[in-house]
Structure 1
Amino acid sequence: MRMRNKPWAGPELDACPFFIRNPQQQRGAWHDWFGNGNPLHLELGCGKGFFIAGAAPQNPGINYLGIDLKDVVLAPAKRKIESAFDGAPVDNVALTAFDIERLALIMNERDTVERIYINFCNPWPRPRHKKRRLTYPTRLAEYKKLLSPGGELWFKTDDDGLFHDTIQYVKDSGFMISALTYDLPLEPLDGVENFQTEHELMFREKGIPIKALRACPIG
């Protein structure tokens, strides 16, 4: 879906202390940017920030890095996150605009992450486009380089085809599935609270079940 232009988005993000304009300069040094030694959680395709706005204020001992492609999306995310902190300093969140398909240009093995979230990514249903999926095996190989020992990939989608294929992708890529559901409940799953995204709220209103899995690299 085409996003409306927001002339205010760029200047407002540039003035935001938790927005990074040139993420290539942070490659290998994301932990230094936060400067607190806390574990890092990465959301690929953070959209309008609903997930991080829910998770970050409740987990001050975790650093969150949200990546999406354009200012027009991240500016509303910045506002959503600030609102969730209700005037308190936003000191465990970083947002940046970059093409997730080129993630290796802004992160490397020194940027170890405890958890990677992929929430409602583009399903790319046509066979010739499937290599662009964020859960495709070539992507999973990149994530394995970033995940710390015991780190996990958390994935949510409304798309049946993408979920079915992703289950096979993670198995083929040397991940073990630790939790899987075809109808994610609102209450905690295995004791883990579910922070909803804007897409999840929309799909639930339409009665579409949310599919989810957690997986960790083997070995």
Structure 2
Amino acid sequence: MRARHKPWADDYLKENTDIIEQTPTERKGMWKDVFQDNQPLQLEIGTGKGQFISGMAKQSPNKNFIGMEVVKSIIVSAVEKVKESGCENIRLINEDAEDLLDLFEPNEVETIYLNFSDPWPKNRHEKRRLTYKTFLEKYKKILKENGKLVLKTDNQGLFEYSLVSFSQFGCKLEEVTLDLHAVDDPANIMTEYEEKFSAKGQPIYRCVISFT
């Protein structure tokens, strides 16, 4: 579903400089200076309305979190969620995953989260999928040596495609879960989409990979 346009979004983002980083490319290699404490950096690509990243920041105060969302009319909701959380170990950036290498230095990120990404089901849109090889190349560059990528989705087609893509790229599969909520992981933080889909009885798929 396309997000409703919010004409006030630009001004709102500019007013919340304590949460939204206004010039993120200037922070490349220096993200540790944005936060109060120099802690391992976690990145969520496609942070949506911010429920996951706010929950993770509460759960792991010993880590710093950056939420990337390209749609302004959606990231304004994430700003509100971060405000409500009271967490100071979160920053948001209104950027596109295509520009990751302009935003992060090699070995700067410990974990990347891809939560309920657009599956782009048509074959002609394969290159837009966030688990396509060109994106994997970017992830590998910015992740630390033992860094991880965590994918969650309700879309079986995207999950199967991603497993093949990971394998062809030479990634190591650390975990593959075909029904996340059936295993009752107490550390799992649900996104808004995850709550919606799981309530309908749809299985949630998760995998964790590392790059070799």
TM range (shorter): over 0.9
Shift of 1:32: 2.3
Any residues of structure 2 matched to 1:44-123 within 5 Å, and which? 44-85=45-86, 90-109=87-106, 112-123=108-119
Kindly tell me the number of residue pairs found equivalent between the two proteins: 211
Any residues of structure 2 matched to 1:1-219 within 5 Å, and which? 1-16=1-16, 17-34=18-35, 36-85=37-86, 90-109=87-106, 112-185=108-181, 189=185, 193-218=187-212
Distance, in Å, in 2 between the alignment partners of 1:186 and 1:27 is 39
Q: Cα deviations across residues 182-210 of structure 1 (Å, max 9, x unaligned)?
A: 11027654xx6111111111111221110
| Percent of aligned pairs with the same amino acid | 38
Give the RMSD, CA atoms, in angstroms: 1.6
Q: Structure 1 length normalisation: TM-score?
A: 0.90
Q: State the one-letter code of the partner of 2:190.
A: Q
Distance, in Å, in 2 between the alignment partners of 1:127 and 1:102 is 23
Q: State the one-letter code of the partner of 1:44.
A: I
Q: State the one-letter code of the partner of 2:206.
A: A
> Is 1:10–1:75's contact at 8 Å kept on the other side of the alignment?
no
**Consecutive unaligned residues in structure 1, runs of 5 or more:** none
Q: Cα deviations across residues 79-128 of structure 1 (Å, max 9, x unaligned)?
A: 1122122xxxx321110101112222222216x11100000001011111
Q: State the one-letter code of the partner of 2:164.
A: Q
Q: Which SS does the other structure have where 1:19 is aligned?
A: coil
User: Which of structure 1's runs of 4+ aligned residues deviate more than 6 A?
Assistant: none
Query: Which of the two has greater helix per residue?
Result: 2
